[in-house]
Each structure stands twice: as structure tokens, then as C-alpha cells.
Amino acid sequence: MKEKWAKIVLSIIILGSLFLFGGCGNRNNAAVWRLGKVLAKEKIKVGMIYVTDPLTETSGYSYAHEMGIREMQERLGLKDEQIITKIHVQDTDAEGIESAMRDCIAKEANIIIATSWGYMDSCEKLALEFPHVVFAHASGYKYNSTNFTNYFGRIYQARYLSGIAAGLKTKTGKVGYVAAMGKDSSEVTGGLNAFALGVESVNSKAKIQVQITYSWFDPMEEANAARRLIAAGCDVIAQHCDTPLPMIEAESAGVWGLGYNSDMSKEAPLAVISSVLWNWGAYYTFLVQSVIDGSFTTEPYFGGIGEGLVDITPPNMLIAAPGTTEAIEKARNRMINKSFNVFDGILEANDGRTIGEAGFTLADSEITGNMSWYYRNVEEN
């Protein structure tokens, strides 16, 4: 009788274990990753979380990330089934974000890549719950010591170069900038100020006028903001927003533009002088390879032109002002050899304050995390 009951109890334990680990989706499978341990390439599974649908787009923020993932796949030899894509995950919907990430993990994802600022807190929370899954978050500042990191880059370098193109091109001396957020967002403000510095380096009289959409993704307001800037006399439009609509509006109005995230000349070939680029493939290859070879750490990644993470497209010389390519290349070379860091020396804000010190440059952490002022040639509307 005792032997019979022992078999029954053992059966219950086995069935319970199967239910527990089977119902937890990836908890058992994701456990193959351990910090400091190698992971076979064939076992890699990446969950991509997007605000929009990059599979149907031809440019913009999510599209640039998707191109980076495809580059990583090609370079490392991952199969399509090793990538899980979640689209239209609004970065203000915490429940929806968690649901998307959990579904990826249930489908055996051992790397979660969260591409929008608003995904940060969900990454932090789920990283604790799923210690055998790597979480990588774009543009944020939170991370832990085991499985949660963040990544971004010196986009201000590319912004400065695009400012050179804008400053040389403008005839009205008014350059427009469609900004996703106000000056309390260091991510946006750091890029805008670098752009303003680039404009000033070749055109000391030009002014930058700003229109804020207060959203990372709002196609209608992005178009409306560009129209307002054009109506105010801006003949060059730059942008820090997700869609190519500001460039399309620029072309429609017969003015010029500087795209963002990816090459936007496809949508507005008669307007786009150049586009500021994120080459996310540089980071995604680095990230996934580090998981494969066991070198992954949670130290935040911050690359620039030198690492190939950011750049601008070659200027369209049918549109760009004479001398644009030469001026950009000169500045780029100074950045690469680190004799120029954009935010060098004493800088003057548009409210009269001074920032920085002679002989020093602002730290990356200051530029991307604590910049709440506009440079002196920026006009707020």
C-alpha cells in the first residue's frame, strides 16, 4: 500500500512540475542563458518591441531599428524564426508593454529589445521577474547588475553635421525644427542644441525656430508643426520625430529639409539635403554577439560616429549649398580624432546663462541626461 501511495505522490509531483514549467513558457528555456556563460547561436531568440509597424514603413524611427536587426541577422547568421516582432505597442500603455514582453518570453525569447523611452520601467520590472532573459532598452538610463542594460549614442555629433548643411543652405536665415518634446527632454534638447551649434558654425546670423509636438509619434501634429514653421518663413526644416511628414511638407512647400532616423530622401527627394542616421545594426550585432560568446555586461552602451552608430547621409549636391560636403567632412574628421566634441568650452544659452568651462567639454551624461536649456540662436515659440 505504501509503495502504491508513493507512486501516486511521485506522479503528482511530476505532473505538477510539467504544468509549472510548461505553463511558464520561456522560464525553462530562457534559463539556458547565464551571465558570463556562452549561449549557442541557434538558441538565441530576440523579442523586438516597437511603437509602430516597421515592416510596413520605408523610413523613420522603428524602421531604422528594424534595419539594424536585419543587419545583425545577416552578420551573425540568425534565422527569421529567431526574431519575434511586436508592433503597435504604445509606450504609454504599461499593461500592453508587459503583455508584449511576456508573450515574447513565452515564445522562448532570451533577449528583449525595447526600442522606445516609455518601455523603460517595464524592462526594469520584468528583468527582476525573468533573471535568465537579457533586457536592452533604447535611450533610457536605468539598468541593473545582471540582465538589464540600456543603449544610446552621440546622435548630437550627427546633428551638428546636419546643422552645417542647414546653415549653409538657408536663405531666409530662419531654420525650423520639429521637436517631439520640450527642453526638459535632454534627448531632444541635446540634439537640437548640437544642430544649433552646427548652424552657427557656418552662419552666425541664422536662427532656429522650434515647434514641439509633445509626442514621440504623432503624424498629424508633426505635419502641422512643419507647416507652422514654413509659414513663419523657415526655408529649411529639421526634425526630431518619428515620421517623414515634416520632410514631405517641406517638399510640398518648395523648401528644404534634414531627415532623421533613416534616409528620408525616398519620401521627399526634392527637399531632403541629408538625413541624420541611427545605424542600430552596430549595437545589435555587438549585443547579440556578447550574449553568444558570454561577454555580455549591463554596462550602458554609448556609441558615436567613431563606432559607426550615428552618421548622416551624403549631402544631395543637387540641393545642398556649395561646400557642404567639404565642411561636413572636416567637422566629422575632427570628431573622429576627438579634437572636437561639439559641446566644448563656454556655451551661451538663449536666456543669457553660460554653461561649461574653457578647455573642457560637457560629459555625455550631461548632454543626454541633464540638458534643459536652449543654445543662444534657438527661438522658442
Is the domain of 172 the same as that of 195?
A: yes
Residue 81 belongs to some domain of the structure: yes
Whether residue 39 lies inside any domain: the answer is: yes
pTM of the model: 0.88
d(Cα 304, Cα 117) in Å, to the nearest integer? 19
Residue 189 pairs in a beta bridge with none
Instruction: Based on the fold, state whether residues 294 and 270 are members of the same structural domain.
Output: no
Say if residue 21's pLDDT is above 50.
Answer: no
Does pLDDT of 30 surpass 60? no
Our count of domains for the chain comes to 2
- Looking at the fold, whether 162 and 291 belong to one and the same domain comes out as no
Domain co-membership, 182 together with 328: yes
Q: What number is the average pLDDT over the span 291-319?
A: 96
- Residue with the larger pLDDT of the pair 2 and 311: 311
Give the cell for residue 58. Answer: 520605408
Q: Decide if 100 is inside a domain.
A: yes
Least confident segment among 17-31, 207-221, 345-359: 17-31
Question: Would you state the cell numbers that stand for residue 375, as one nine-digit string?
Answer: 543654445
Give Rg (Cα) of the chain.
24
Confidence of residue 230 (pLDDT cuts 50, 70, 90): very high
Are both 364 and 346 inside the same structural domain?
yes
Coil, helix or strand for 57? coil
Residue pair 69/83 in contact by the 8 Å Cβ criterion: yes
Tell me, yes or no, whether 24 lies in a domain. no
* Same domain assignment for residues 44 and 174: no
Residues 162 and 149 in one domain: no
Domain range for 142 is 29-153+281-303
Mapped onto helix, strand or coil, the DSSP state of residue 126 is: helix
Asked whether residue 10 carries a pLDDT value surpassing 50, the answer given is no
Task: Report pLDDT digits (tens) over 331-361.
Answer: 999 999 999 999 999 999 999 999 999 999 9
CATH number, domain with residue 73: 3.40.50.2300
Examine the pLDDT at 378 and tell me if it is beyond 80.
yes
Q: What is the mean pLDDT of the chain?
A: 92
In this structure, are 43 and 118 located in the same domain? Answer: yes
Neighbours of 196 (CB within 10 A): 28
Residues 141 and 253 reside in one and the same domain: no
Cα(342)–Cα(62) distance, integer angstroms: 27
Question: Could you tell me the pLDDT band of residue 368, with boundaries at 50, 70 and 90?
Answer: confident
Residue 2: inside a domain: no
Q: CA-CA distance, 256 to 174, in Å (whole number)?
A: 12
Examine the domain organization and report whether 97 and 50 are in the same domain: yes
Nearest of 137, 140, 147 to residue 39 by alpha carbon: 147
pLDDT value for 371: 96
Please, which residues bridge with residue 153 across strands?
303
In a domain, 14, yes or no: no
- Residue 7 in domain: no
Amino acid at 185: S
Tabulate helix, strand, coil % of the chain (nearest 5): 45, 20, 40
Q: Which residues of 77-110 are buried (b: 16+ CB within 10 A; e: fewer)?
A: ebeeebbbbbbebebeeeebbbebbbebbbebbb
Longest dimension (CA), the chain: 97
Residues 109 and 249 in one domain: no
Opening angle at CA 280, ends 274 and 283, nearest 5 = 140
Contacts for 28-37 with beta carbons within 8 Å, 24 or more apart? 29/108, 29/110, 30/105, 30/108, 30/109, 30/110, 30/130, 30/132, 30/133, 31/132, 32/110, 32/132, 33/110, 33/132, 33/133, 33/134, 33/291, 34/132, 35/146, 35/147, 35/296, 36/294, 37/294
Q: Check whether residue 210 and residue 142 sit in a common domain.
A: no
User: Is the residue at 245 inside a domain?
Assistant: yes
Examine the pLDDT at 1 and tell me if it is beyond 50: no
- Bridge-based pairing of strands 272-278 and 310-312 is antiparallel
Q: What is the pLDDT of residue 231?
A: 98
